[in-house]
């Protein structure tokens, strides 16, 4: 389904009407426009892209996370295929190449080094905070745009140090601040609220834990214990002994489901379980646990597939129609496929904006566009937007609390949208939709 959107170019400051499946976007105000520097970049950064624009995806295409990543990559491919079927980016076709890194940062670096040396890709993305740590320095030196990395680490949102990197998952400071507010709302009468953390011992788990440790400072929430999630059964037994008010899963897929099932096997159901947002699939990460997952909570931004709330939602219906028009077997009801499609939609938004700029479609103009987005993504929960500009690199600063209902096998809204911007940036810096 095609819909007209309005683009206000950060370069031209004029309005251009385009045919595109998406929402309404506008660049940041002139005073907050980030200007990408190419002073120390190779010549390729400013060369016009013609023929084909290729994104390189490095991720765990083998191992326990592979089914989720495979779905994600297919979502990217189908959104790009839809764009290609509708003229591409001013005639430039979009392509996807994916390389397995087994969630090993050293292999991620090898994949990126190969792309940088060969020039085989113009854009790249990846999975995990550990893999991002392995490539961020070299990727920025090479001026290779890394868009929508599936990482939550805060340090790579430093625009001055990592101008060529953007991350899709909410920052740890954003997500964990919202989760602390959710925990406090669940126990409004407690003077002190205790939390036990089950930590995946990778860079991603460490980033979630660091975010929670920072978010509880100055609040009545206390971290009672940090339990390594190296063995689900052992972790569940330890958590049961802790008897904390809440359990927080600083985990990655599919560990959130493993945590719930392991706690059920030892006869433990905490008063509250909060899952990390990367586990935000009702069908895949909650429903298989049955009643054991009932009442678990998380903060989220995406319209979860299969939720009756979105049956007649225009953004959801357009996504299904567009995806199946190019891929009749598109897994539109898979959250990770939907996430891939959604991140690709935001990338396409940057490509279109870059192509309309005075320099045309280049790596530099794409990065400039990505750094200056104010986009109403159709698959975001209503009331949430994607925003980046010179003053912030968070993308998402508002999150919707959700609670899982095993009876309907879907999420329900659990209170109002939580706005973390005033806490993180200060109220005076939170205008323009932030």
Query: Which of 307, 287, 305 lies closest to 296 in space, CA to CA?
Result: 287
Cα R_g (the chain), whole angstroms: 21
Whole-angstrom distance, CA of residue 214 vs CA of residue 197: 14
Q: Give mean pLDDT, residues 208-221.
A: 96
Whole-angstrom distance, CA of residue 67 vs CA of residue 69: 6
Tell me if 45 sits within 8 A of 407, measured CB to CB: no
List the chain domain ranges: 3-170+312-396, 173-300+399-429
Same fold? 3-170+312-396, 173-300+399-429: yes
Residue in the block written with tokens 């090479």: 142
Q: 3.40.50.2300, 1.10.600.10, 1.20.1250.20, 3.50.50.60: which CATH number matches 3-170+312-396?
A: 3.40.50.2300
Mean of all residue pLDDT scores within the chain: 91
> Is residue 312 classed exposed, middle or buried when 0-12, 13-18 and 19+ CB atoms within 10 A define those classes?
exposed
> Would you say residue 6 has pLDDT above 70?
no
**Residue 60: predicted pLDDT:** 97
> Would you say residue 199 has pLDDT above 50?
yes
Task: Report residue 432's pLDDT band, with 50, 70 and 90 as the boundaries.
Answer: low
**Residue 434: predicted pLDDT:** 66
Tokens describing residue 159: 């625009």
Three-state SS at 51: coil
State the pairing for strand pair 418-419/398-405. Answer: antiparallel
> Is residue 380 classed exposed, middle or buried when 0-12, 13-18 and 19+ CB atoms within 10 A define those classes?
buried
Summarize pLDDT for 300-310 with one digit per residue, the tens: 999 999 999 99
Domain 173-300+399-429 in this protein, CATH class: alpha beta
In sign, the C-alpha dihedral spanning 306, 309, 315, 318 is positive
Summarize pLDDT for 51-84 with one digit per residue, the tens: 999 999 999 999 999 999 999 999 999 999 999 9
Summarize pLDDT for 231-246 with one digit per residue, the tens: 999 999 999 999 999 9
């Amino acid at each position: 389904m095609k819909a007209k959107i309005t683009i206000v170019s950060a370069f031209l400051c004029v309005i251009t009407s385009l045919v595109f499946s998406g929402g309404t976007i506008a660049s940041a105000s002139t005073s907050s426009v980030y200007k990408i520097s190419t002073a120390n970049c190779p010549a390729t950064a400013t060369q016009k892209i013609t023929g084909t624009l290729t994104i390189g995806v490095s991720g765990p295409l083998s191992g326990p996370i592979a089914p989720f990543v495979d779905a994600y990559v297919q979502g990217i491919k189908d959104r790009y295929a839809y764009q290609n079927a509708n003229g591409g980016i001013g005639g430039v076709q979009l392509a996807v190449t994916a390389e397995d890194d087994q969630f090993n940062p050293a292999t991620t670096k090898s994949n990126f080094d190969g792309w940088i040396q060969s020039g085989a890709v113009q854009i790249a993305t990846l999975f995990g905070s550990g893999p991002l740590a392995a490539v961020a320095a070299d990727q920025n030196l090479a001026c290779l745009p890394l868009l929508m990395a599936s990482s939550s680490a805060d340090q790579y949102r430093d625009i001055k140090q990592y101008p060529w990197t953007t991350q899709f998952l909410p920052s740890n400071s954003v997500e964990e601040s919202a989760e602390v507010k959710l925990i406090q709302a669940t126990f409004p009468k407690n003077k002190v609220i205790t939390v036990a953390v089950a930590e995946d011992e990778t860079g991603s788990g460490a980033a979630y834990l660091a975010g929670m440790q920072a978010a509880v400072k100055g609040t009545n929430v206390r971290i009672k214990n940090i339990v390594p999630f190296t063995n689900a059964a052992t972790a569940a037994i330890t958590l049961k002994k802790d008897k904390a008010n809440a359990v927080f899963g600083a985990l990655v897929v599919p560990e959130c489901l493993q945590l719930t099932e392991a706690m059920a096997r030892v006869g433990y159901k905490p008063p509250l379980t909060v899952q990390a947002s990367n586990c935000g699939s009702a069908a895949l990460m909650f429903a298989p646990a049955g009643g054991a997952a009932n009442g678990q909570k998380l903060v989220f931004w995406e319209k979860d597939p299969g939720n009756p709330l979105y049956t007649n939602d225009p953004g959801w219906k357009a996504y299904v129609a567009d995806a199946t028009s190019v891929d009749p077997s598109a897994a539109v009801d898979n959250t990770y496929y939907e996430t891939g499609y959604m991140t690709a939609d935001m990338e396409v938004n940057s490509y279109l904006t870059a192509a309309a700029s005075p320099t045309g479609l280049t790596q530099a103009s794409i990065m400039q566009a990505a750094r200056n987005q104010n986009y109403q993504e159709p698959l975001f929960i209503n009331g949430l937007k994607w925003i980046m500009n010179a003053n912030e690199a968070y993308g998402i600063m508002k999150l919707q609390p959700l609670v899982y209902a095993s009876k309907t096998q879907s999420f329900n809204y659990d209170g109002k949208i939580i706005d973390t911007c005033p806490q993180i940036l200060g109220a005076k810096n939170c205008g323009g939709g932030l």
